[in-house]
Amino acid sequence: MTEYNYDRNYKPGDNVATQEELEKLEAEVAQLKKELLELISEGGGGEGGGEVNVPWADPYDFGYDPIAADNTKPINDAIASLPEKSSGRVLIPRGPSYCAGQLLLTKRKGLILEGYGSPEPTTFVSTEWQPSTIIYTGTASRFIDGRSAHGTTIRDVGIGYNNAGFTGLLLDFNHNPSVDSTMTLLERCAIQGVGYKEGEYISNAKALVSFAASINNVVRGCRFHHAEAAIRGQEDGGAYSNVCNIEDCLFGHCYAYIVNPGQGWTVQVNTFEGLQGDNPVYPHHALLCDLAGGGSVSGVTIKGNWMGDAFGEQEWIKLKPLIASSIEGNFISGGLGAIRFFNNEASAILGGGVSIRNNSFSTSKGFGIDFTNGDNILWEGLEVVANNLFPNYAEAPFLNQPTAANHRDCDFRANYARTPELFVQPYYLQHSSNRSSLTAINKEAVDEAYGAAEKKLLENLRTRSEELEAAMKKAGTL
């Protein structure tokens, strides 16, 4: 494929092109577009070459200007030129594309927004943002409107906002008004608030991505920075969000990274960081569920994630009690604590069918797991197994553990803590031979049991020594 070299330091007004130079440039652009279209038609633009002969649109054909303050219309016109109910690709140009208005993907099917690669999530500096980047400068309730869209793919694009007055959703895949959006794929994108110069960030957006009332979505290999939330699922009042897989992503500098996950969500192999470089420290929750007025979190898997480099006073995972869910194989460090369950409803709620196992918790100031013991949360079917519980904790590995009086089938076993304060908790939960059960053991009882066992062992050793000495004398060997 032909290579073209352009002067990145060129500024408007540096020189005036002749008619001959303009015609030459137009011919080069036409040739480049022809070669790119041939490459896409051969399947080179799709992962694994699976997207063959997909209709294609270039914003340059609709008046795109790389130095314009607003390219909303050329990009929307490129989108609108493609079939609404079948596949089509829009290639986002290199460099920053500023948009003052909304990009309209509403109710489209199979639309692909694809760029030349996403930028590093650091600062708004031209040398770092040369790949394809769309920057929203407006203050509407949403920027990319993907409501009721189906099969949308956005990949290899940076998406940011630089207006401190923007408090909405950067990408919205809700329903509009009653048809769910489905099967959205976000891949290799950098999505964040940015500023106009190095070290300047804006974090006022409600969320970078919303999957409320949305089904079967995948987020893979993306970076999220600077907003109140990175990804939102359910909303208050019972709005659902079904099946979302979030994997291999990097999250940083949001109040909460994943808020109100829904049913069948999987969050795996991600990095959650609350502090990077010299940037401000933001309050952090890797996962937060604070739904009010209904809604439940069930079938959620949180597996193989790294959560660290945070020194705030929040928990990494703060959830209303889960149903049929798993928290497994995570490394959680820093912050006030690892996991806290809570109830913000007026009446008691049930948590059950939950497995917390094979996690490593490490902090110097907080707790491991807070179960919020009491009548407002009832646990039925809870296992906490084979966890490394805070070698250096300040409070305790467990807070407010379930008791035998108001919880059933709870199984705590094979958890490691470096100091004996584990037994100071009001109730230590043990596993019996037949079923999960609750056994109350206080520190005095443990000390007494250990003392009795040690005394009996010493007596047995003394008796055995006396018997051996007598036998040796009798045999004449002593």
pLDDT at position 5: 44
Residue 170 · residue 161 · CB < 8 Å: yes
Can you tell me which residue has the tokens 């918790």? 361
Nearest 10 degrees: Cα torsion 123, 202, 315, 407:
-130
pLDDT bracket for residue 459 (50, 70, 90): confident
Which of 403 and 15 is assigned the larger pLDDT? Answer: 403
pLDDT bracket for residue 403 (50, 70, 90): low
pLDDT at position 413: 81
CB atoms within 10 A of CB 149: 27
Q: pLDDT by residue (tens digit) across 92-114?
A: 998 889 999 999 999 999 999 99
Percentages helix, strand, coil for the chain (3-state, rounded to 5) are 15, 35, 50
How does DSSP assign 263-318, residue by residue? EEEEEES-EEES--TTSPPPP--SEE----SS---BS-EEES-EEES--SSSEEEE
pLDDT at position 74: 97
Phi, psi of 220 (to 5 degrees): -140, 130
Determine whether 274 is exposed, middle or buried from the number of CB atoms within 10 Å of its CB (0-12, 13-18, 19+).
Answer: buried
CB atoms within 10 A of CB 65: 13
pLDDT at position 199: 62
Range with the largest mean pLDDT of 210-219, 253-262, 371-380, 431-440:
210-219
Give CA separation, 333 vs 305, 431, 442, in Å. Answer: 11, 28, 29
Please tell me the distance from the alpha carbon of residue 354 to that of residue 307, in angstroms, as a whole number.
20
Q: pLDDT by residue (tens digit) across 310-362?
A: 766 778 898 887 889 999 999 998 777 888 888 777 777 778 889 999 999 88
- Mean pLDDT for all residues in the chain: 78
Q: What SS3 class is residue 26? A: helix
Query: Which positions ≥6 away from 9 have C-beta within 8 Å?
Result: none
Residue 475 has pLDDT above 80, yes or no: no
Can you tell me which residue has the tokens 């062992």? 457
Phi, psi of 398 (to 5 degrees): -120, 140
Range with the largest mean pLDDT of 115-129, 221-235, 460-474:
221-235
Which of 398 and 391 is assigned the larger pLDDT? Answer: 398
Q: 161: part of which helix (H) or strand (E)?
A: strand 158-161
Q: pLDDT by residue (tens digit) across 236-286?
A: 766 689 999 999 999 988 888 999 998 999 999 999 987 544 444 456 788
Q: pLDDT by residue (tens digit) across 197-234?
A: 666 678 899 999 999 999 999 999 999 988 999 999 98
Report CA 63 to chain centroid distance, whole Å: 37
Residue 11 has pLDDT above 50, yes or no: no
pLDDT at position 287: 87
Range with the largest mean pLDDT of 79-83, 199-203, 442-446:
79-83
Residue 1 has pLDDT above 80, yes or no: no
List the domain boundaries for the chain. Answer: 442-478
Residue 10 has pLDDT above 70, yes or no: no
pLDDT at position 126: 47
Please tell me the distance from the alpha carbon of residue 414 to that of residue 358, in angstroms, as a whole number.
10
How does DSSP assign 217-247, residue by residue? EEEES-EEEEEEEEEE--BTTTB--EEEEEE
- DSSP-derived pairing of the beta strands 181-182 and 214-220: parallel
Residue 368 · residue 389 · CB < 8 Å: yes
Q: pLDDT by residue (tens digit) across 164-196?
A: 999 999 999 998 777 899 999 999 999 998 876
pLDDT bracket for residue 34 (50, 70, 90): low
Read off the pTM: 0.78
